[in-house]
Amino acid sequence: MKKQLMIATMAVHGLLGMQSAHAAGAMNVDDAQVLGANKCQLETWGKFNRDGTERWLNPSCNLTGNLEISWGNSWQRDANGMYLSNSQLQGKTVFKEMSANSYGIGMLGGVVRQTDSGDANNGARQRSWNYYSKLLTSFSFKDDAVLLHTNVGFNRRGKEQTTRLTWGLGNETQLMDKLSFIGEVFGENKGKPGYQAGIRAALVPEHVEMDLTYGNTFGRETQGRYVVLGLRFITPELRR
């Protein structure tokens, strides 16, 4: 039983590993925008798969006006108990700020320390370092009621010693005053792409948001599917 549980946990981690370079909450495609100057936010979410759960906490701040720094951490459970599976430090900036019915351009980069469950026989956990970067573009339509995001970049995986090109296309469409559709497709230059779609609700406009999404990898039927529930808390200006 212990061996089976560890194998299942390793499979889940491998399936979700491509998505560790995350964007807004659990979404993989990022927008070409940063937090408002002198604001901070806390994003937290759980990704539920039939074999396990990945839990994230991701605080970030923009104290300079055009540089958003985040430090995200995720936890998973295996036969030896709970462990820190990912620790990620990321910086994001904007070269052209997006306005209504226009476009924006930005860039992000980061490093991830990834911890695997390890070998199923001895349970030893293995750590590796991943590096990534993305060029971000966002387009506004209908006075920001429809937003389109595109990402291109790379992901350097330390464990496999491989570098993959990454891409993503995302959409946010306002359905009602406080409710939006969010969706994305994303992938690498090798392997099958994935998708994720759901709703985003503004519980307290400009301060508290909730996401509920469903995702999978194309062609994996039920094997790769997952559900994400996330919350985002945004502070007022910390100083003027």
The average confidence (pLDDT) of the chain is 87
pLDDT band at 10 (very low <50, low <70, confident <90, very high): very low
Q: Is the pLDDT of residue 49 over 90?
A: no
pLDDT of 118 reads: 61
Q: What is the mean pLDDT of residues 100-126?
A: 84
7 pLDDT exceeds 60?
A: no
Q: pLDDT: is 231 or 83 the higher one?
A: 231
Q: Which residues contact 214 (CB under 8 A, 6 or more apart)?
A: 196, 197, 198, 225, 226, 227, 228
Rounded to whole angstroms, how far apart are CA atoms 67 and 37?
Answer: 9
**122-163 tens-digit pLDDT:** 667 788 999 999 999 999 999 999 999 999 999 999 988 999
Instruction: Report how far Cα 38 is from the mean position of its chain's Cα atoms.
Output: 23
pLDDT at site 236: 93
What number of other Cβ atoms are within 10 A of residue 240's Cβ? Answer: 5
Q: Alpha-carbon distance 151 to 24, whole Å?
A: 13
pLDDT class for 2, splitting at 50, 70, 90? very low
Query: Each residue of 198-233: pLDDT tens digit?
Result: 999 999 999 999 999 999 999 877 777 999 999 999
Which pLDDT score, from 0 to 100, does residue 20 have? 42
More confident of the two residues 54 and 121 = 54
152-192: pLDDT as tens digits = 999 999 988 999 999 999 999 999 999 999 999 999 999 99
- DSSP characters over 184-199: EEEEESSS--EEEEEE
Signed CA dihedral, 136, 32, 29, 47: sign only: positive
> Does 12 have pLDDT greater than 70?
no
Q: What is the pLDDT of residue 79?
A: 60
pLDDT band per the 50, 70, 90 thresholds, residue 78: low
- How many whole angstroms separate alpha carbon 210 and alpha carbon 38? 22
* pLDDT band for position 15 (cuts 50, 70, 90): very low
Residue 65: partners with Cβ closer than 8 Å, 6 or more residues away:
37, 38
Take residue 200 and report the two structure tokens written for it. 């985003």
Give the span between the Cα atoms of 124 and 130, in whole angstroms: 20
Residue 145, SS3?
Answer: coil
Q: Quick check: helix, strand or coil at residue 2?
A: helix
* Dist CA 133 CA 108 (whole Å): 6
Which backbone phi and psi does 234 adopt, to 5 degrees?
-120, 130
What is the reported pLDDT for 121? 58
**Rounded CA separation 103/133 (Å):** 20
pLDDT of residue 80: 65
Q: Kindly state the average pLDDT of the residues 56-72.
A: 96
Other C-beta atoms lying within 10 Å of the C-beta of residue 65: 13
- Domains and their CATH numbers in the chain: 2-234 (2.40.160.40)
Predicted confidence (pLDDT) at residue 74 exceeds the cutoff of 60: yes
